Structures are given as structure tokens and as C-alpha cells.
Homo-oligomer: A and B are copies of this chain.
Amino acid sequence: MRLLIVEDDVALADELTADLGRSGYAVDWLADGRDAQYQGASEPYDLIVLDLGLPGKPGLDVLREWRAGGLTTPVLILTARDHWAERIDGLKAGADDYLTKPFHPEELQLRIQSLLRRAHGLANQAHLEVGGLHLDESRQAVIRNGNDIILTAAEFSLLRYLMLHPQQIVSKLQLLEHLYDGETERDSNVIEVHVNHLRRKLGKAVIETRRGQGYKFHGVTAGSTS
């Protein structure tokens, strides 16, 4: 998942970037509203965290123009506690959720997870569970039939992306763009390697390949083990 954080408080932004990076998100950070305006509309982010108190251009204006231009990416806004009216304006302008400062970083993580599930039509699920597999975000593991399978960071974020797009065909390019920040080689075979590892751990049938098009996630059907 690729996230954009628009926040001018350097200390806070650093912390959030590091935190989210550790959770397997590819995070970009911008401090200026004008830059955000452009980059948010041109890069394929899965979610944007937008502070409303920004230099360059007011966050609310940025958000309004994104929505006017047809951007559908989920946006979570950060507002100051004492500007409570901003929340309402923000939601009216097209924000999907908000958080008032100060907040705990874990709180942001939870909101992000929930927002991502919601955005992919997997609402009111407390945890990501698709086709017999249960993702445990806090431990980077999958649970199948009650037993844990430990994944590495790369495997985990790849699987998370696939599970958030069930029944869809996800191209290798799409995976490269959404799992890695901006500039990663377009002709690397990282994805293939990690897909291979996932298939080893979860069984061959879990990820179907559609030659020339991409991969498609299937749950584990009945008692397939290895």
C-alpha cells in the first residue's frame, strides 16, 4: 500500500513515516500544500493523510480540488483540537475520516487499516479475512485453520494488497507501483520471487497467475495445506 502524508510538522511527520514504514506501507511525505495538490493527483496512492493546517495552500482547498478533479483515493484529515469546525468542513469537502491532534500513532494505524478495508468494499470487518485466510496486522502473520504462518515484511505487504483486491486481477506493474515508493525498476522480478515464497508457505492455489495480465487471489479451498 502506498500512502502520502501531507504534514508540515517535521518531527511528527518523521515519526509517522517511520511507523507506517515499519508496518509495511510505502510512505511518501510532503510538507507543502501545492506540491501535495499535484503529487496526490498524479501518483497512485492508496490513501492520503492530510493535515489541514498547511503552508503553501490550505489543506481544505487541496482536498476540494482533488475531489473536483475526480480523485477517489481515501483521505484522512488531521485537525487541531481547537479548530473543531474544520472537521465538519473537511468531511463536507470529501474527507473519509478525521483524527484530532494530538493522537497516538497506533490510533492512526488502526484508522488507516479500517479505511483501507472500507475503501475496498470490505467494510465492517474488524480484521482482514478473505477466503479462509486471516491477516494479523500486529504480528505480520496469516492464520489458516487456526495455525499461524509467519511471513516476512515483503510477503506480508504483498499478501495484504492481494487480499484487499479479491477476485480482481492485479498486474505486476500495479504491485510494483503500490508496494514500492516511486522509483523502483519496472523490470525487476521481485514480485515473482515473493509470489513464489507465498505460494510455498500458503499453497500453490492461493495465487493464480493470468499470463500477460497479472495475479488473482483465491482463498484456500477446503483442506489444502501445502
Contact = CB atoms under 8 A, between A and B. Distances in A.
A153 interface: yes
Given A138-B168, A169-B139, A153 B102 contact: no
A22 interface: yes
A114 interface: no
A102 B42 contact: yes
Nearest to A45: B104
Contacts of A209: none
Nearest to A107: B70
A69 B213 contact: no
A168 B153 contact: no
B213 A140 contact: yes
Contacts of A100: 69
A2 to B, nearest CB: 13
A152 B70 contact: no
A168 B139 contact: yes
Interface residues of A, number: 28
B169 A102 contact: no
Interface in A55-76: 69-70
Nearest to A150: B210
Contacts of A109: none
Given A169-B138, A171-B22, A212 B152 contact: yes
Interface in A141-174: 150, 152-153, 168-169, 171, 173
Nearest to A73: B104
A172 to B, nearest CB: 10
Contacts of A138: 168-169
A90 to B, nearest CB: 17
A41 B102 contact: yes
A210 to B, nearest CB: 8
Nearest to A38: B102
Interface in A91-113: 100-104, 107
Given A22-B171, A41-B103, A42-B101, 5 more contacts: A22-B212, A41-B102, A139-B169, A140-B169, A152-B212
